[in-house]
Amino acid sequence: MKRIALLLLAAFITVAGCGKSPQSQGKVIVAASIPPLADFVRQVGQNKVEVVNIVAGAANPHTFEITPETIRRASRARMLVLNGLGLEFWAPKLVDAIGRNSLKVVDTSQGIQPIKDEEHDHDHGGTNPHIWLSPPLAIHQVKAIRDALVEIDPGNASHYRRSSQAYIDSLLALDNEITLEIAGWLQRSFICFHPSWNYFADNYKLNQAAVIEKRSGFEPTPREIVEIIELVKKLDISTIFAERQFPTQSSETIARECGAKVISLDPLGEESPGFSYLSLMRLNVAKMAQAMK
């Protein structure tokens, strides 16, 4: 019944939109799956694009379900930007519901070597999707967005190339800034609730020692909690990294048993006029530094 309802809504949107351009005041409308990607599109497109964010930053992208409102908002777009690596498991259903062959779908993970994550995350085909949390891989994603915008809007190609290079320079500066900050950390191992920081840890030579929730929506077993507590004590870890998109009860239980504290990180941010991926990453690193120095 849910699929029928989505298809009926898609048909209504198609009929209602007949004869109308998928542009808004001359801007290219681009739908992006999560706030960081929405910011990448905005930085590359500047005043040439209008961005529609799909998954709110406070939501859990691993359990997100498309709704009629999701389809209505995304149906205006000429381009759909995805992270890839299974994060947007709902994307085929959305594309099918929109039902427009001209929709440009961009998988920004193409060409990236994924981290295998068969033990910790069975939701994404054995790969970890959190590539945007590594600034060098974010640069790869920005370039994919740039190339796609050039393809669908060649008249503004020079604009997209200039703005993307300016933003890539900012991401390179961020990468250097984080590298220098982490060089002074005494603690190199950390434990987090969800396996979001694998690529970040890999890039900056940190050790993600354990993950509390190995699969989205499944609480750790008592045995797993005991194993993590023993590891926290063994590695003398003082802080558990939680995330605002997930419950914190398990993290707090482990922290209490170990005399540790819980710090909440934010891998997604919140889509708003003032949202910035650069600021989000700086804030996360500053919070990590409280525990790692």
pLDDT at 16 over 60: no
| pLDDT reported for residue 7 | 47
Do the Cβ atoms of 17 and 75 come closer than 8 Å?
Answer: yes
What is the pTM (predicted TM-score) of this model?
0.88
pLDDT in tens, 154-198: 999 999 999 999 999 999 999 999 999 999 999 999 989 888 999
DSSP code, position 287: H
| pLDDT reported for residue 272 | 78
Domain ranges in the chain are 2-11+22-177, 180-292
Architecture of domain 2-11+22-177: 3-Layer(aba) Sandwich (3.40)
CA gap 42, 52 in Å, rounded: 10
What are the residues facing 263 on neighbouring strands?
241
pLDDT at 73 over 70: yes
Distance of CA 189 to CAs 192, 256, 291, 292, Å? Answer: 10, 19, 10, 8
Distance of CA 37 to CAs 113, 274, 293, Å? Answer: 19, 14, 30
180-292: CATH topology: Rossmann fold (3.40.50)
Q: Output the CA torsion sign for 251, 257, 263, 267.
A: negative
